[in-house]
Amino acid sequence: MTKIYAFANQKGGVGKTTTAVNLGAYLAASGRRVLVVDVDPQANATSSLGFDKNSLSLSTYDALINRVPCSQIIASTRWQHLELLPSAPALAGAEVEMVHLLAREHLLRKALAPIADHYHYILIDSPPSLGLLTVNALTAAADGVIIPVQCEYLALEGLTELLRTIMMVRDNLNPRLYVRGLLMTMYDGRTNLSAQVVAEVQRHFKDRVFRTIIPRSVRLSEAPSYGEPILAYAPRSSGGLAYQAFAQELLNGDEGQGTARVGGKGPQRAPTVARRQEV
Ligand SMILES: Nc1ncnc2c1ncn2[C@@H]1O[C@H](COP(=O)(O)OP(=O)(O)OP(=O)(O)O)[C@@H](O)[C@H]1O
Ligand SMILES: [Mg+2]
């Protein structure tokens, strides 16, 4: 069964791309076939996996606007089982061009449909906005949205707006959309602030916060400049171990293995239904 998740938060720099790329790499290393879909014109996921965004002949833009089949665009990465639907700067113009297209919110979902069965996981990295590209990502996200939240002051700011958008998409475009979980990122153990932010987010979102917390890790910030996921660049770093643990937590929840629970309140599958009602 394919799982399709979008990574969204209109706040910039919270760890969407870092999470999509590194989670994808660990899932692939565990033998799952993974496709990372880059729908951000910044193309950070594309460069983080070692591609030059300026020298790609085809990109997500062509899948959305020119209806080029994804199978002709998808690139293999240097890591087994890990493939990429790359972005390119041209995607910046897509939101304007999409406005005139029929079923413009469903373009990504329709583009992915013919190839989805080939993968165990499709991870969609979206841009820092709530525009049409993010709405396309949410509409295609058949199994939910993962929201990275940075452990910093005002972390909750903007989440109400994001949840409202998610509800709007669920009610009108993708009835299966729900919040798969919030992932706390860039945790700094040396400050009280990080711990306070985690406590506050857990108070608000309870069992929807993933147990795994991603620490601030210099290695994680260095890896993209080498075009490598942390699994290849520094697997024993704190960031590497954290993303490995996150991949395991997600797999346990998705595949019902062991006793892993998200947030410690019952098996993952049961609260999923309840959560759908409340987004
Ligand atoms: N846990 C971490 N520790 C240290 N640096 C990190 C961590 N996670 C991400 N970074 C760095 O922080 C920056 C922002 O991360 P990232 O690009 O993943 O965020 P984003 O939400 O995708 O940003 P955007 O909204 O611009 O797409 C990047 O330079 C990344 O390398
Ligand atoms: Mg990004």
Confidence grade of residue 257 (pLDDT, cut at 50, 70, 90)? low
Strand 3-7 to 145-150 pairing: parallel
- 213 in helix, strand or coil? strand
- Bridge-based pairing of strands 121-125 and 82-85 is unpaired
First to last CA, the chain: 22
Domains and CATH numbers, the chain: 3-278 (3.40.50.300)
- Interatomic CA distance for residues 236 and 97, integer angstroms: 44
The closest-lying atom of ligand 1 relative to the alpha carbon of residue 221 is 31
pLDDT band at 272; cut points 50, 70, 90: very low
pLDDT in tens, 17-38: 999 999 999 999 999 999 999 9
> Which atom of ligand 1 is the closest one to the Cα of 21?
18
Kindly report, residue by residue over 132-182, the tens digit of the pLDDT.
999 999 999 999 999 999 999 888 888 999 999 999 999 999 999 999 999
- Tell me the CA–centroid distance for residue 31 and ligand 1, in Å: 26
158 lines ligand 1 (CB under 6 A): no
Instruction: State the pTM of this model.
Output: 0.92
Cα angle 13, 17, 23 (rounded to 5 degrees) comes to: 135
Q: At what angle do helices 132-140 and 159-172 cross, to 10 degrees?
A: 60
pLDDT category, 85, cuts 50, 70, 90? very high
Site to probe by mutation for ligand 1, drawn from 18, 42, 151, 197 as the one with most ligand atoms within 8 Å of Cβ, is 18
Residue 148 has what pLDDT?
98
Q: What is the mean pLDDT of the chain?
A: 91
Q: Left if phi > 0, otherwise alpha if psi is -120 to 50, otherwise beta: which for 31?
A: left
DSSP-derived letter for residue 64 is: H
| pLDDT given at position 154 | 87
